[in-house]
Amino acid sequence: MIARSDGAPRNSVNCPRTRRPKQAASNRLERRLLEIEKVDPKAKRQVVQLPDTFIEREKLKQRIHQQETRS
């Protein structure tokens, strides 16, 4: 067996195109996101818009609160 001098792991010498196994979703949100990835693009776009709306609303609330505390 020939070792590589570039510091690559030993298994990459034998099988350079091995893929890492997919990680299992660690929480409920990740599991849901993995399922969303499987739906058609139109439905996926609608689903992504929902959290965007919540995030935008929270940022707006923070800005308003900061302006009120400055006044």
Which pTM was predicted? 0.49
Position 25 pLDDT exceeds 70: no
Which tokens hold the place of 1? 């067996």
Question: How far, in Å, CA of 23 to CA of 20, rounded?
Answer: 9
Question: Taking a C-beta distance cutoff of 8 angstroms, is the pair 31, 25 a contact?
Answer: yes
Which tokens hold the place of 46? 């609608």
Q: Is the dihedral of CA 22, 32, 40, 47 positive or negative?
A: negative
Among the residue ranges 22-36, 40-54, 56-70, the one predicted with the least confidence is 22-36
Position 59 pLDDT exceeds 90: yes
Position 47 pLDDT exceeds 80: yes
